[in-house]
Amino acid sequence: MVVRVKEVVIERHGELKLVLGGKHGYVRVRGGQGKTKVEFQGYTKCKKHSTAAYPTPREAAIALAELERDLAVGLDKAARKKRKQGTCKRPGVCPNP
């Protein structure tokens, strides 16, 4: 039986670790985002969170590393936002009570 070990190459940006590999040079960075389809975006393993669109894959990888660090600490911004209520003071006026 042959045991294969996947080698992970890591690039450092300050205290952040950027994992090299993938189609655009960094793991979990996808291209073809934005209006002109020339921007890059990072996404988490479960694809529940993603970064904004950036002009280079390196910037998207840095934003992804920061996002993963914040999620590990518990600084999830989406969970802290309160959902807007769809209630209206006059129930007959609003289409979605």
Domain-embedded: residue 28: yes
Look at the chain and report how many structural domains it folds into: 1
Q: Is residue 88 part of a domain?
A: no
44 in a domain, yes or no?
Answer: yes
pTM of the model: 0.71
What SS3 class is residue 96?
coil
Return the pLDDT at 78: 56
Domain assignment of residue 21, yes or no: yes
Q: Which domain holds residue 20?
A: 13-75
User: Is the residue at 8 inside a domain?
Assistant: no
Evaluate whether residue 89 is within a structural domain: no
Retrieve residue 14's tokens: 């300050």
* 6 within a domain of the structure (yes/no): no
List CB contacts of 5: < 8 A, sequence separation 6 or more: none
Q: What is the pLDDT along the chain (97 residues), one digit of tens a residue?
A: 888 888 889 999 999 999 999 899 999 999 998 888 999 999 999 888 889 999 999 999 999 999 999 888 887 665 545 555 555 566 566 665 5
Residue 68 lies in a domain: yes
